[in-house]
Amino acid sequence: MSNNSKSLVSGHPQGLMTLFFSEMWERFCYYGMRVLLTLYLVKSLMKGDAEASLIYGAYTALIYAAPVLGGKMADKYLGYRYAILLGAVLMAIGEFLILGGSEQAMLIGMGALIVGNGYFKANISTIVGKLYEDGDPRRDSGFTIFYIGINVGALLATTVVAYVGETYGFDKGFALAGFGMLLGLVIFWTGRSNYAAAPGLDITEAGMAPALGKFKLYQVISVASLLLIPLCYVLIQNNTFTVGEGADAWDFPLMTVLLVGLFVYVAGSLIAAGIKEGPMWRDRMIALVIFMLINVVFWACFEQAGTSLTLFADRNVSREILGWTMPASMTQFFNPAFIIIYGSLFSMMWVKLDKIGKNPSIPIKFALGILQLGLGFLITLVGLQFVDENAMVPLLTLVFLYMLHTTGELFLSPIGLSMVTKLSPKSMAGTAMGGWFLSFAMANYAGGAIATLTGGHGDSGAEMTASEGLSTYIDVFSTIGMVLVAFAVLIVLLSKPLNKLMHGVS
C-alpha cells in the first residue's frame, strides 16, 4: 500500500477513517470526563466556583502540555503507533480510577489521563499529516474530516455521558467514558494495516537499544511514564502555593511559571532548529510561535464552555424544552453538533476556494475565527433583553453563542493542525505538534483563571442571588467579546508580515 492509496469511502488515504474512529472514541473519553468535571467538583466534592475553575484549568492545561513530551518521545524512541497504544491504555485506566469517588481517586485518575493523552493526542494528529504527500491539496480537507471525528466523539460525550452522569450519577458517566477509550484502542489496533504506509510508526532504533540490563529503552520509558502520574497529582492539587508567612506571604504561581517556562523552552527549541535548517525554516518557526500565542488567546476564551458557561447554564439559562429540563452539562453539546453540521461544508469550501484562488490566508482565517468567537460572547447582551422574572435568559442565547464559537473554531482549529504539519520540518513533526498543543495548555490554564472572574458561589461563604450572578456573567462575557473583536482587527493588520514569514505556506 502506498501513501496515495484511496479510501473507497472518502477519496482520502485509506488510514484516515481508522484514525477518524480511533480519535472519535478517545475524544468521547476525554470530553466525557470534561463535560462532568466542573459540576462534579462543585456538587459532589463541594468545591467553590473559583477553586473548581482552577482545578479544571490546571487539569486541562496539563492535558495539553503532556503532548510536548509525548511527541518528542514518539519522534525519538517510541514511534507513533506504540505511543498511541500506551496512551490509550493509560487513559482508560485513569477514567476507571475516578470511580473511587474521592478527591484522591479523582486526582490519581486525572494524572493517568494526562500522561495517556500526552502520548495519544499529538501523535495521532501527526500520523494524519503523514498520510499525505507534500503539497497535497487534500490535506486541509483531510484534517477537517478528522476534526469532524473529534467532534462526533465530543457530541456523544456531551449528550450521552452528560445525561447519564447528571441523571444516574457521575460515576456512571465516568465509567461510560472509560469504555469508550477501550473501544478506540481496539479500533486503532485492529485497523493498523490501513495506516501502515505512514512513516515513523515503528519503535525507533534508539528505542530498541538496551537499557538497565535486559530491558530495552522504550520499555524503561513506558514504566518511567507512570512516575509522572503523582507529579500531575501534585500540580493539580497545588497549582499555586504560599511562600512566606503573615503579611509577607505571597502566592507562588507554580503552574504559570511551569507553563510559561516550558513554552519559552519549546519556542526556543523550534526556532533554534529552524535556524539550523536555513533562513526559510527559521522564519516559519517564528511564524509558528506567533500563531501559538494567537491560539492561546482564542482557546482561553473558547474554553469557558467547561467552566463559566456551564455554571451560567446551570444558574441563569432557562433549559426547559416541552416539559423536559436539559441538564446543564448537556448544553456543551451545541458546539460539537454545529461542528458536525458545518464541518463537511467547510471541508468542501476550502477546496473550492483554493481552486478559484480565493482561499483566505492562514492569518485572515485566524482573525475571522477570533472575530466570530467575540461576537458569540456578545450574544449574551442580546439574551439579557429577554431575561425572565427568575433571572433566566432563553436557551437560544447559548444556541447562538455556541454557533458563532463553532464557526470561529472551524476557521482556526483544523487549519492550525494542518498548518503545523506544513510549517515544520519532517524531522521534528512530533515535537512541533507537541508545541502546538502546549499553546492549548497555556490557554486552558488561562481560561480557568478567567472563569474565576465570574465566581462568588461557594468561595466566600456568601452566595450571589440569581440576579447578581446574571449581571456578573454578562459583564464578564461582554468584556471578553469586545477584547476579542479588537484582537481580530489587530491580526488583520499584521497579516502581511505573517504571510511573509511563512514563505508560501497557505
Provide the 10 A C-beta neighbour count for residue 199. 12
Q: In whole angstroms, what is the distance from residue 107 CA to residue 230 CA?
A: 9
Residue 247 forms part of a structural domain: no
Q: In whole angstroms, what is the distance from residue 179 CA to residue 153 CA?
A: 13
CA 295 and chain centroid, separation:
11
Lowest mean pLDDT among 31-45, 128-142, 193-207, 360-374: 128-142
Supply the pLDDT for residue 1: 36
User: Could you report the per-residue pLDDT of 363-391, keeping only the tens digit for each?
Assistant: 999 999 999 999 999 999 999 999 999 99
What number is the average pLDDT over the span 419-441? Answer: 81
φ/ψ of residue 241, rounded to 5: -140, 155
Q: In whole angstroms, what is the distance from residue 84 CA to residue 124 CA?
A: 7
Question: Which CATH number is 298's domain given?
Answer: 1.20.1250.20
Confidence of residue 10 (pLDDT cuts 50, 70, 90): low
The radius of gyration of the chain from alpha carbons, rounded to an integer in Å, stands at: 22
Supply the pLDDT for residue 494: 95
- 3-state SS of the chain: helix, strand, coil percent to 5? 75, 5, 20
Q: In whole angstroms, what is the distance from residue 448 CA to residue 59 CA?
A: 10
Residue 23 forms part of a structural domain: yes
Residue 8 forms part of a structural domain: no
Q: Which residues contact 379 (CB under 8 A, 6 or more apart)?
A: 397, 400, 401, 404
DSSP for 485-503?
HHHHHHHHHTHHHHHHHHT
User: Could you report the per-residue pLDDT of 20-61, keeping only the tens digit for each?
Assistant: 999 999 999 999 999 999 999 998 988 888 888 889 999 999
Number of domain units in the chain = 1
- In 3D, which of 184, 146, 229 has the Cα closest to residue 30? 184
Would you say 204 and 73 are in contact if contact means Cβ atoms under 8 Å apart?
no
User: Could you report the per-residue pLDDT of 336-350, keeping only the tens digit for each?
Assistant: 899 888 887 887 888
Residue 9 forms part of a structural domain: no
Domain that includes residue 358, residue range: 15-238+253-502
Dihedral angle computed from the Cα positions of residues 221, 223, 227 and 232, in that order, rounded to the nearest 10 degrees: 80
Place of cell 503539497: 135
Residue 4 forms part of a structural domain: no
Q: Is the pLDDT of residue 480 over 60?
A: yes
Q: In whole angstroms, what is the distance from residue 366 CA to residue 258 CA?
A: 27
Q: Which residues contact 131 (CB under 8 A, 6 or more apart)?
A: 3, 12, 13, 15, 16, 19, 142, 195, 197, 198
Residue 213 forms part of a structural domain: yes
